[in-house]
Amino acid sequence: MDLYRRRILINQAGIGLSMVAMSFGLFALLWILWTLFSKGFAAFSWEFFTQDTPAPGTEGGGLRNAIIGSGLILFFTTVISTPIGILAGIYLAEFGRVSKFASATRFVTDIMLSAPSIVIGLFVYALFVVTTGGFSGWAGTVALSLIAIPVVVRTTENMLKLVPTSLREAAFAVGAPRWAVSLKVTLRAVKAGVVTGVLLAIARVTGETAPLLFTALSNQFYSTDMSQPMGNLPVVIFQFGLSPYDNWVNLAWGGSLLIALLVLGINIGARILFRQKDKR
């Protein structure tokens, strides 16, 4: 009986400590969100979305150039990382499960997943920016793609491994070639999970600042030329948040909230896809 009571007390103490730790975490999270939303919404206006970043010491202005620049960089990052990541994941799960090349690929992918983003930014700077002779939106796209591709690869591989072997065998039994089984049967069976992996990869790179500091840099003016330095929200937030100008700091809060809303929307979309997949 004493042993039973002691176990109950230990269990209650563990649950109590867990609740305390959760309360501290929720308090910090709600504090951050309250500060972000209260100061971020105050910066939202029509000029915020339609005007470019202001000069030092001036009033007004917005983040149009940074919003457009981030949108272009994220768009091309998605275009590059999605097919490469999905095809690599298909190879690892369907064609090269036990090969040495697949093992080496998994090892490199795991390293890329844990590599600091600033290291990737420096790598692209040395490889791309120094070679081409200038910062550019394309360099920023390459840096973010190197961060997003491993996420898509691992997600695709893990989702494909969940497909029952019997489904593949049934497709092979009717004479389907291996490439058709991989693309039209197994990949289609887990398409919701793969799309979720792509969304999570984009959410992962949306707020990255360090890689863009060394690659895309920034641009005070509106530009859609990817071969030139391009304004983007993370770098502008970093620069404006440290400035002595109140107007710039307010714009930094607005940009921070915009990124938070984008990431929140992507995560909600990913959860909806997972929920639909579970219902099926």
Predicted confidence (pLDDT) per residue in 143-163, tens digit: 999 999 999 999 999 999 999
Q: Which residue in 136, 142, 271, 130 sits closest to 199, CA to CA?
A: 271
> Using one digit for the tens of pLDDT, what is the confidence trace for 90-122?
999 988 877 888 889 999 999 999 899 999 999
pLDDT tens-digit map of 59-74: 889 999 999 999 999 9
Mean pLDDT confidence for 40-48 = 92
Q: Is the pLDDT of residue 7 over 90?
A: no
What is the CB-side half-sphere exposure of residue 196 using CA atoms within 13 A? 19
Look up the CATH number of the domain holding residue 176: 1.10.3720.10
252 and 116 in one domain? yes
Asked whether 76 and 230 are in contact (CB, 8 A), the reply is no
63 and 39 in one domain? no
**Residue written as token pair 């001036």:** 58
Same domain, 21 and 141: no
Same-domain check for residues 80 and 193: yes
- Report, as an integer, the average pLDDT of 16-22: 94
Distances (CA, A) of 159 to 27, 196, 210, 243, 246: 34, 10, 30, 45, 47
pLDDT > 80? residue 231: yes
For residues 14 and 91, state if they share a domain.
no
Q: Which two tokens stand for residue 19?
A: 């609740």
Could you tell me if 119 and 239 lie in one domain? Answer: yes
Instruction: Please indicate, yes or no, whether residues 225 and 146 belong to a single structural domain of this protein.
Output: yes
**Residue 175: pLDDT band with limits 50, 70, 90:** confident
- Asked if the model's pLDDT at residue 273 lies above 90, the reply is no
Residues 156 and 193 placed together within one structural domain of the fold: yes
Closest by Cα among 88, 196, 101 to 146:
88
CA angle 141, 225, 254 (to 5 degrees): 70
148 shares its domain with 23: no
CA angle in degrees (0–180, nearest 5) for 268-207-27:
65
Instruction: Give the distance from CA 93 to its chain's centroid.
Output: 23
Q: In terms of domains, do 8 and 147 share one? A: no
Helices (H) and strands (E) in the chain, counts: 14, 0
Q: What is the domain count for the chain?
A: 2
If asked whether residues 56 and 15 sit together in one domain, one would say no
- Provide the pLDDT for residue 178: 87
In this structure, what are the phi and psi dihedrals at residue 226, rounded to the nearest 5 degrees?
Answer: -70, -10
Task: Provide the sign of the torsion angle of the four alpha carbons 219, 222, 227, 232, taken in this order.
Answer: positive
Average pLDDT over residues 40-58: 91
Read off the pLDDT of each residue in 159-181 and give the average, rounded to a whole number. Answer: 89
> Which of 117-126, 133-142, 211-220, 261-270 shows the lowest per-residue confidence on average (mean pLDDT)?
261-270
Give the residue numbers spanning the domain of 63.
49-279
Same domain assignment for residues 130 and 223: yes
Spatial contact of 68 and 62, defined as CB atoms under 8 Å apart: no
Question: For residues 237 and 241, what is the distance between their CA atoms, to the nearest angstrom?
Answer: 6
**pTM score, two decimals?**
0.89
